[in-house]
Chain A
């Protein structure tokens, strides 16, 4: 079973700072997801990637398949980015529900 580790667990930063959240996993995967969860429980998918890099607005996600590692970057961070960011992996095959990390609790202070 895949083990997904995220770091840091908690991160507080000032508005405008460049944010990096890391994710590592133990077993080869078919896809990796970055998700955002706001207080109240709603989860929104940010990225799904299997190689390389994706960018959406101020968010950038990268993955290194050989090193089993992914990073989520937020440029010009804003208080509305405050949320829990969760990394989840998919191992492929028919039974392919996501295996989640514990999440990174991000607070951006004005």
Chain B
């Protein structure tokens, strides 16, 4: 079974530029999560999708971050414009359904550096 795919793996941009990340979850997984992991910290949930609907985006900085999952499969996360403090690893995870007893499967992450 193929795992969660993310691209790009690395991205370097200057502040005020825009950037987009892509995630393809495990086939058949209804729930998709985007997490932000700043160096030295645990990941923080940015947004949770159930199919193509948003379940939780309470910690997403909506003035600059946006995410979509139009067909309920793959997803994109965009930052526009980027700030220095957005430098982090952006992790995508998926699970069969967003239920307490379901395991989450993580992608390799995209490491973003904002200069």
> Chain A: residues with CB nearer than 8 A to chain B?
4, 30-31, 33, 35, 40-45, 48, 50, 86, 88, 90, 92, 94-103
A102 touches B42 (CB 8 A): yes
Q: In this complex, what residue of B is CB-closest to A43?
A: B106
Report how many residues on chain B are interfacial, defined by Cβ distance under 8 Å. Answer: 28
Q: In the complex, how many angstroms separate the beta carbon of B29 from the nearest chain A beta carbon? A: 14
User: Is the Cβ of B106 less than 8 Å from the Cβ of A96?
Assistant: no
How many residue pairs link A and B with beta carbons under 8 A? The number is 71
Min CB–CB distance A26 → chain B (angstroms): 15
* B81-115 with Cβ < 8 A to chain A: 89, 91, 93, 98-101, 103-106, 108-109, 111
Instruction: Judge whether B100 and A45 touch: CB under 8 Å.
Output: no
- B91 neighbours in A (Cβ, 8 Å): 41, 43
CB distance A90 to B42 under 8 Å? no
Task: Choose one: A40, A42, A101; the contact of B42 (CB below 8 Å).
Answer: A101
Q: A45 contacts B105, CB within 8 Å?
A: yes
Most B CB contacts (10 A, CB to CB) among A33, A44, A88 go to A88
Q: Please, how many angstroms separate the alpha-carbon atoms of A100 and B35 in the complex?
A: 10
The residue on A at minimum CB distance from B98 is A96
CA distance A94 to B30 in the complex (A): 13
Known contacts A41-B89, A98-B45, A101-B42; is-contact A31 B100 (Cβ 8 Å): yes
Interface centre among A41, A48, A102 (most CB of B within 10 A): A41
* Contact A102–B100 (Cβ < 8 Å): no
